[in-house]
Structure 1
Amino acid sequence: MGQGLDQRLLMTNERFRRMHPDDFHGTTDPFVTEGWIRSLEEIFRYMDMADAVRVRCTIYLLKGDTSLWWEGAERGANMATLTWEEFKRVFYDKYFTYDVRSRLKREFMSLRQGDWSVAEFLQKFDRGCHFVPLIANDAVEKLQHFLDGLKSIIRHDVMLSDPTDYTTAVAKVFRAEQSHKDIDWELERKKNRAQQANHSNKKPYAGPPN
């Protein structure tokens, strides 16, 4: 029975390695840390892994200073009952602290487009949603928070179409941005043509009168 279980674990570990998960050497960038965990969870869901195997595979990927950190952290954990969510709490306490998560939540709640392009704003909005599930998981709240953060001129155009969901609003925002770019380009083209025409109509200076 024990040998059979060990064999299944070995096969699972081999399948996991064939998915080419990245090692973790530590970082001060919370998005890198969060991205690494999410990439592992995608593999875990695909392989339908149990909690104990998830923890075992993740520990295998801890390298360098992170491996040394875990040696100390492991002493305070019951490896026989440690769940994946419990492991993440221990891991985040080191590499994605509560203070950092709180700061990211506050930044998301006051997020405004400002001088960013729609693509830049959307990237920051989608990232922020991950840290504020109360908004991200409520379709109405998510749509309203997204619209509130847009530039007023973009938001005005999008609101005219009365979008009913976030996905539709995103598509309309990109179209509104492109429309304003087209208008700005046309105005600049007309301005340049007017300047050129004005310059060509000027008579060349012939010197002082005799």
Structure 2
Amino acid sequence: MDPKDFAGTTDPFVAEGWIRSLEVIFRYMDDTDRFRCAIYLLKDDASLWWEGAEKGINQNTLTWEEFKWIFYEKYFTADVRSRLKREFMSLRQWDLSIAEFVKKFNRGCHFVPLIANDATKKLRHFFDGLRPAIHRDVLLVDPTEYQDAVTRAFRAEQSLKYMEWEV
């Protein structure tokens, strides 16, 4: 694995993605090595931010979870996470393609684990967000699994496109 440098960003998804990419590597490391590795990968503005943030922190006792909390306070704030939860709770397909809707839905699940970790609630929330014509076609099959509902939604969308093309 080739860990990427982090130079700072105004995009919280880039910051969150960087942390998640590190955690894949960190599964095989001791906790104390994790934040040191992350600090090594901070560059440019992020490195300057850390120089200020580390004052008053005992790096001998700092854990990975504590580092993530400090990092998120800067790059993925509680306000942003709260906004993303609200967006997920009101997510509707409208004019999005199924691919775009599924991408937003899956990303949103990350911020609302009460829905994401409950298969019934996740499936219901997905159904509720679909545009009516696709919602109807998916419910006709009555899928019981999220992935099956997604597959059915793709098929329903394709069928609608084909019918529009014929008209």
Alignment TM-score, normalising by the size of structure 2 = 0.97
Residues 171-186 of structure 1: matches in 2 within 5 Å? 171-186=151-166
1:93 matched residue in structure 2: 73
In 2: Cα distance, 1:135 partner to 1:51 partner: 30
Residues 49-198 of structure 1: matches in 2 within 5 Å? 49-187=29-167
Deviations 1:117-137 (A, max 9, x none): 000111111111111111111
Residues 14-25 of structure 1: matches in 2 within 5 Å? 19-25=1-7
Q: Which amino acid aligns with 1:139?
A: A
In 1: Cα distance, 2:132 partner to 2:31 partner: 47
**Cα distance, 1:87 vs structure 2:** 0.7
**Cα distance, 1:73 vs structure 2:** 1.2
Moved over 4 A (4+): none
In 2: Cα distance, 1:121 partner to 1:78 partner: 44
In 2: Cα distance, 1:147 partner to 1:90 partner: 37
* Higher Rg: 1
In 1: Cα distance, 2:95 partner to 2:129 partner: 12
In 1: Cα distance, 2:70 partner to 2:91 partner: 29
1:32 matched residue in structure 2: 14
How much identity, in percent, do the aligned residues show? Answer: 71
In 2: Cα distance, 1:77 partner to 1:158 partner: 53
Alignment TM-score, normalising by the size of structure 1 = 0.77
Q: Describe the SS at the equivalent of 1:75.
A: coil
Q: Which amino acid aligns with 1:60?
A: Y
Q: Which has the higher contact order (CA 8 A, sep 6+)?
A: 2
1:6 matched residue in structure 2: none
Long gaps (5+) in structure 1: 1-18, 188-210
**Cα distance, 1:57 vs structure 2:** 0.4
Long gaps (5+) in structure 2: none
In 1: Cα distance, 2:61 partner to 2:145 partner: 42
Q: Describe the SS at the equivalent of 2:4.
A: coil
**Cα distance, 1:40 vs structure 2:** 1.0
Deviations 1:47-91 (A, max 9, x none): x11211111100000011211111121123221221111111100
